[in-house]
Chains A and B, each alone.
Chain A
Amino acid sequence: DTAVSQTPKYLVTQMGNDKSIKCEQNLGHDTMYWYKQDSKKFLKIMFSYNNKELIINETVPNRFSPKSPDKAHLNLHINSLELGDSAVYFCASTSGADTQYFGPGTRLTVL
Protein backbone atom coordinates (compact mmCIF):
# COMPACT_ATOMS: atom_id res chain seq x y z
CA ASP A 1 0.00 0.00 0.00
CA THR A 2 3.06 2.26 -0.14
CA ALA A 3 2.09 5.47 -1.89
CA VAL A 4 5.51 6.89 -2.76
CA SER A 5 8.49 4.58 -2.47
CA GLN A 6 12.19 5.20 -2.91
CA THR A 7 15.16 2.91 -3.21
CA PRO A 8 17.61 2.66 -1.71
CA LYS A 9 16.91 4.07 1.73
CA TYR A 10 20.60 4.50 2.48
CA LEU A 11 23.44 4.99 0.04
CA VAL A 12 27.08 5.28 1.08
CA THR A 13 29.62 5.80 -1.66
CA GLN A 14 32.98 7.27 -2.52
CA MET A 15 33.62 10.62 -4.16
CA GLY A 16 33.69 10.40 -7.92
CA ASN A 17 31.27 7.50 -8.19
CA ASP A 18 28.01 7.52 -10.13
CA LYS A 19 24.81 6.48 -8.38
CA SER A 20 21.07 6.34 -8.99
CA ILE A 21 18.03 6.71 -6.76
CA LYS A 22 14.66 5.39 -7.84
CA CYS A 23 11.19 6.63 -7.04
CA GLU A 24 7.80 5.13 -7.76
CA GLN A 25 4.30 6.31 -6.90
CA ASN A 26 1.10 4.30 -7.10
CA LEU A 27 -1.27 7.21 -6.51
CA GLY A 28 -2.03 7.86 -10.16
CA HIS A 29 -0.47 11.32 -9.91
CA ASP A 30 0.82 13.09 -12.98
CA THR A 31 3.55 15.21 -11.40
CA MET A 32 6.64 14.06 -9.53
CA TYR A 33 9.42 15.96 -7.78
CA TRP A 34 12.88 15.58 -6.31
CA TYR A 35 13.79 17.62 -3.24
CA LYS A 36 17.10 17.84 -1.42
CA GLN A 37 17.22 18.20 2.38
CA ASP A 38 20.57 19.39 3.63
CA SER A 39 22.20 18.84 7.00
CA LYS A 40 20.31 21.82 8.44
CA LYS A 41 17.03 20.22 7.36
CA PHE A 42 16.41 22.85 4.69
CA LEU A 43 14.29 21.47 1.84
CA LYS A 44 14.78 22.70 -1.67
CA ILE A 45 13.20 21.56 -4.88
CA MET A 46 15.50 20.20 -7.55
CA PHE A 47 13.36 18.87 -10.39
CA SER A 48 9.78 18.24 -11.39
CA TYR A 49 8.25 16.15 -14.12
CA ASN A 50 4.70 16.30 -15.38
CA ASN A 51 3.62 13.36 -17.51
CA LYS A 52 7.26 12.50 -18.24
CA GLU A 53 8.08 16.07 -19.24
CA LEU A 54 10.60 18.16 -17.28
CA ILE A 55 8.91 21.31 -15.94
CA ILE A 56 11.22 22.43 -13.15
CA ASN A 57 15.00 22.43 -13.15
CA GLU A 58 16.26 24.53 -10.29
CA THR A 59 19.90 25.54 -10.79
CA VAL A 60 21.09 22.05 -10.09
CA PRO A 61 24.55 20.99 -11.33
CA ASN A 62 24.31 19.04 -14.55
CA ARG A 63 25.90 16.09 -12.75
CA PHE A 64 22.31 15.46 -11.63
CA SER A 65 20.08 14.00 -14.31
CA PRO A 66 16.48 13.03 -13.67
CA LYS A 67 14.72 10.51 -15.85
CA SER A 68 11.04 9.68 -16.01
CA PRO A 69 10.32 6.50 -17.98
CA ASP A 70 6.61 6.86 -17.26
CA LYS A 71 4.47 9.09 -15.07
CA ALA A 72 4.68 6.69 -12.12
CA HIS A 73 8.47 6.72 -11.96
CA LEU A 74 11.08 9.42 -11.53
CA ASN A 75 14.69 8.41 -11.09
CA LEU A 76 17.67 10.55 -10.18
CA HIS A 77 21.13 9.78 -11.51
CA ILE A 78 24.14 11.55 -10.06
CA ASN A 79 27.52 11.54 -11.78
CA SER A 80 30.90 12.21 -10.20
CA LEU A 81 29.58 12.45 -6.66
CA GLU A 82 31.01 15.18 -4.43
CA LEU A 83 31.10 15.55 -0.65
CA GLY A 84 28.55 18.34 -0.88
CA ASP A 85 26.02 15.98 -2.42
CA SER A 86 25.59 14.27 0.95
CA ALA A 87 21.99 14.89 1.95
CA VAL A 88 18.59 13.28 2.18
CA TYR A 89 16.79 13.19 -1.15
CA PHE A 90 13.00 13.08 -1.13
CA CYS A 91 10.73 12.19 -3.97
CA ALA A 92 7.17 13.54 -4.00
CA SER A 93 4.12 13.36 -6.22
CA THR A 94 0.88 15.24 -6.73
CA SER A 95 -1.95 15.95 -9.10
CA GLY A 96 -2.41 19.60 -9.99
CA ALA A 97 -1.79 22.03 -7.15
CA ASP A 98 -2.97 19.63 -4.49
CA THR A 99 -1.03 18.10 -1.62
CA GLN A 100 2.36 16.66 -2.41
CA TYR A 101 2.97 13.20 -0.98
CA PHE A 102 6.52 12.44 0.00
CA GLY A 103 8.54 9.27 -0.12
CA PRO A 104 10.59 7.99 2.84
CA GLY A 105 13.79 9.63 1.62
CA THR A 106 17.20 8.37 0.55
CA ARG A 107 20.10 9.30 2.80
CA LEU A 108 23.15 9.73 0.60
CA THR A 109 26.57 9.85 2.24
CA VAL A 110 29.57 10.64 0.09
CA LEU A 111 32.93 9.76 1.66
Chain B
Amino acid sequence: AQSVSQHNHHVILSEAASLELGCNYSYGGTVNLFWYVQYPGQHLQLLLKYFSGDPLVKGIKGFEAEFIKSKFSFNLRKPSVQWSDTAEYFCAVNGGGATNKLIFGTGTLLAVQP
Protein backbone atom coordinates (compact mmCIF):
# COMPACT_ATOMS: atom_id res chain seq x y z
CA ALA B 1 0.00 0.00 0.00
CA GLN B 2 1.11 3.54 -0.64
CA SER B 3 2.33 5.58 2.29
CA VAL B 4 4.00 8.93 2.84
CA SER B 5 6.34 9.81 5.69
CA GLN B 6 7.21 13.29 6.81
CA HIS B 7 10.03 13.12 9.31
CA ASN B 8 9.72 16.54 10.87
CA HIS B 9 6.50 17.07 12.76
CA HIS B 10 7.32 20.50 14.12
CA VAL B 11 10.02 22.85 12.87
CA ILE B 12 10.88 26.22 14.38
CA LEU B 13 13.09 28.61 12.43
CA SER B 14 14.10 32.22 12.57
CA GLU B 15 13.39 34.48 9.62
CA ALA B 16 15.98 34.21 6.83
CA ALA B 17 16.96 30.68 7.87
CA SER B 18 16.97 27.98 5.22
CA LEU B 19 14.30 25.30 5.22
CA GLU B 20 14.28 21.68 4.21
CA LEU B 21 11.33 19.42 4.99
CA GLY B 22 11.72 15.73 4.38
CA CYS B 23 9.22 13.53 2.54
CA ASN B 24 9.58 9.87 1.65
CA TYR B 25 6.99 7.73 -0.03
CA SER B 26 6.40 4.06 -0.45
CA TYR B 27 5.10 3.00 -3.86
CA GLY B 28 6.59 0.83 -6.54
CA GLY B 29 5.11 2.41 -9.63
CA THR B 30 5.03 5.80 -11.29
CA VAL B 31 3.87 8.51 -8.93
CA ASN B 32 2.80 12.10 -9.02
CA LEU B 33 4.10 14.08 -6.05
CA PHE B 34 2.74 17.20 -4.42
CA TRP B 35 3.44 19.63 -1.63
CA TYR B 36 0.46 21.47 -0.22
CA VAL B 37 0.47 24.27 2.35
CA GLN B 38 -2.25 25.07 4.87
CA TYR B 39 -2.04 28.51 6.45
CA PRO B 40 -3.72 28.87 9.85
CA GLY B 41 -7.47 28.50 9.49
CA GLN B 42 -7.33 28.12 5.73
CA HIS B 43 -7.72 25.41 3.13
CA LEU B 44 -4.95 23.51 1.41
CA GLN B 45 -3.17 25.25 -1.43
CA LEU B 46 -0.79 23.70 -3.92
CA LEU B 47 2.85 24.76 -3.49
CA LEU B 48 4.32 22.63 -6.25
CA LYS B 49 4.03 19.29 -8.00
CA TYR B 50 6.14 16.77 -9.87
CA PHE B 51 4.76 14.57 -12.62
CA SER B 52 7.76 13.95 -14.86
CA GLY B 53 10.80 15.66 -16.39
CA ASP B 54 13.23 17.82 -14.45
CA PRO B 55 13.36 16.38 -10.92
CA LEU B 56 13.93 19.85 -9.46
CA VAL B 57 10.61 21.65 -9.46
CA LYS B 58 9.94 25.22 -8.51
CA GLY B 59 6.73 26.34 -6.92
CA ILE B 60 5.14 29.45 -5.59
CA LYS B 61 6.61 31.78 -2.96
CA GLY B 62 10.20 30.68 -3.59
CA PHE B 63 9.69 27.03 -2.68
CA GLU B 64 11.30 24.19 -4.59
CA ALA B 65 11.44 20.43 -4.24
CA GLU B 66 13.70 17.72 -5.59
CA PHE B 67 12.48 14.30 -6.62
CA ILE B 68 15.12 11.64 -6.00
CA LYS B 69 13.72 8.41 -7.38
CA SER B 70 16.41 6.17 -5.89
CA LYS B 71 15.62 7.47 -2.42
CA PHE B 72 11.85 7.66 -2.89
CA SER B 73 12.11 11.21 -1.63
CA PHE B 74 10.58 14.56 -2.49
CA ASN B 75 12.04 17.08 -0.06
CA LEU B 76 10.80 20.66 0.10
CA ARG B 77 13.27 23.54 0.33
CA LYS B 78 13.34 27.28 0.64
CA PRO B 79 16.59 29.23 0.96
CA SER B 80 15.23 31.97 3.23
CA VAL B 81 11.97 31.69 5.14
CA GLN B 82 9.70 34.53 6.15
CA TRP B 83 7.32 34.90 9.05
CA SER B 84 4.45 34.54 6.57
CA ASP B 85 5.62 30.99 5.78
CA THR B 86 4.30 29.85 9.15
CA ALA B 87 1.90 27.06 8.20
CA GLU B 88 1.35 23.32 8.03
CA TYR B 89 3.04 21.61 5.07
CA PHE B 90 1.78 18.36 3.59
CA CYS B 91 3.51 16.05 1.19
CA ALA B 92 1.21 13.86 -0.90
CA VAL B 93 1.52 11.13 -3.50
CA ASN B 94 -0.91 10.08 -6.20
CA GLY B 95 -0.28 6.71 -7.77
CA GLY B 96 -2.74 7.35 -10.55
CA GLY B 97 -4.92 4.51 -11.72
CA ALA B 98 -8.68 4.63 -11.68
CA THR B 99 -9.02 6.38 -8.36
CA ASN B 100 -6.30 9.06 -8.35
CA LYS B 101 -6.58 9.35 -4.61
CA LEU B 102 -4.04 11.43 -2.74
CA ILE B 103 -2.17 9.83 0.14
CA PHE B 104 -0.98 12.51 2.53
CA GLY B 105 1.87 12.57 4.98
CA THR B 106 1.17 13.55 8.56
CA GLY B 107 2.19 17.13 7.95
CA THR B 108 4.95 19.38 9.28
CA LEU B 109 4.09 22.45 11.28
CA LEU B 110 6.54 25.22 10.48
CA ALA B 111 6.75 28.16 12.86
CA VAL B 112 8.91 31.07 11.72
CA GLN B 113 9.95 33.48 14.41
CA PRO B 114 10.41 37.13 13.42
Chain A residues near B (Cβ < 8 Å): 31, 33, 40-45, 48, 55-56, 58, 90, 92, 94, 96-97, 99-105
Contact = CB atoms under 8 A, between A and B. Distances in A.
Interface residues of B, number: 25
Interface string B7-40: 0000000000000000000000000101010100
B43 A105 contact: yes
Contact of B102 (A42, A96, A100, A104): A100
A43 B44 CA distance: 11
Q: Is the interface of B mostly helix, strand, loop or mixed?
A: strand
A99 B99 CA distance: 13
B69 interface: no
A48 B104 contact: no
Interface of B: 32, 34, 36, 38, 42-46, 49, 51, 88, 90, 94, 96, 98-104, 106-107, 109
Contacts of A102: 36, 43-45
9 contacts: A41-B88, A41-B107, A42-B107, A43-B107, A44-B104, A45-B103, A56-B99, A97-B94, A99-B46
